Amino acid sequence: MCPSPEPIDAAEPAAADRRRLTEEQAADIEATRAEVQTTRRAVVPALEEILYEPLPVLDQGFIRVIDYMGDDAGIVQAARVSYGRGTKQISNDRGLINYLMRHRHTSPFEMCEIKLHIKLPIFIARQWIRHRTANVNEYSARYSVLEEAFYTPAPEHLAAQSQTNRQGRADVLEGPESRDALGRIQAHSTDSYELYLSLLNEDRAGDVQDPDKKGLARELARMTLPLNTYTEWYWKIDLHNLLHFSALRADSHAQYEIRAYAEVLLDVLKRWVPLAYDAFLDYRKDGAELSGKALAVLRRMLKGEQVDQAESGLSPREWRDLQALLDLA
């Protein structure tokens, strides 16, 4: 199995990694962060600390919090349809949020929203866009020239195809196999970008290469680029659906690359809505849901009965999952 994503340092300076941002982009972000606004809206100091800051993911990706609406008290306020900011005691707010999460009363969580700027490889964007509960606006390669940014896996994430899971990885490649795969990925990315620029009849500075030659339309030239090309988009989503995204994509069974983004989103959630984040960990991410048959088996086990798969009513796979969940395997 591939290792879990390493924790991300959310305090990394915006211009620390030039692979992620140009000097102009970093300067724009610093200028935006320097602006201070007065407001009557709910403000979360821990989230304000990282507002607009690129939180690094993978080798060249990032997540930036652009805007947000609501906080933990807003969830409570919506649940009670109150005129104020909820209760004055955090313990009361925590109890209500736990109740809402435990019983899957989702509409109060939908009252909070967040807008993110995300830079990610196209093959991860294809997984990400499956979550159809957000508003998305992506960088247009029909209008603009894509930058030379390609995801290259770290050696510890170059793994062979699993023989038991058609959409998973097995052991990490080592030695010549790893070096060969990595070298070919890097060479293909460079060659593809050279072809892309050549078809556009442009160089890396955006200047015309050959004045006597017409460049291919950008909307056509982009088709030569591989799926590890980085794209960017703005992604706005409510808290309920962000929690659902995180439950699926921060799971150990998710692909490493999208899991790396989900881990950063968990840190954002912890800063933004700490009470909802704790409830989410307890009742969703670190919790479990049992089928009726599995619950019946568990009740029999608690009564001291010896239960085997053949007469449990569970399929062999369901039985293995239950054994693993109960740490009985």
**Do the bridges between strand 135-138 and strand 159-161 make them parallel or antiparallel, or are there none, so unpaired?**
unpaired
Rounded Cα distance, 111 and 106, in Å: 9
Compute the residue count for the chain: 329
Closest CA to 270 of 1, 126, 26, 55: 55
Helix H segments across the chain? 23-34, 45-48, 72-80, 90-102, 107-110, 122-128, 175-200, 218-221, 239-249, 256-272, 274-280, 292-302, 316-325
Known catalytic residue at 284? no
Return the exposure string of 23-39: e unless at least 16 CB atoms fall within 10 Å of the residue's CB, then b: eeebeebeeeeeeeeee
Tokens of 305: 């009965």
Task: Evaluate whether 246 touches 267 at the Cβ level (below 8 Å).
Answer: no
Residue identified by tokens 């602006």 is 35
- HSE, CB side, 13 Å, CA atoms: give it for residue 175: 1
**Do the bridges between strand 159-161 and strand 169-172 make them parallel or antiparallel, or are there none, so unpaired?**
antiparallel
Catalytic residue among 64, 249, 259, 271: 249
Could you give the C-alpha distances from 320 to 25, 96, 121, 128, 163, in angstroms and in order?
50, 35, 34, 29, 18
Rounded Cα distance, 241 and 110, in Å: 8
DSSP 41: S
In degrees, rounded to 5, the angle at the alpha carbon of residue 255 between the alpha carbons of residues 249 and 261 is 50
The residues annotated with a catalytic role in the active site are 249
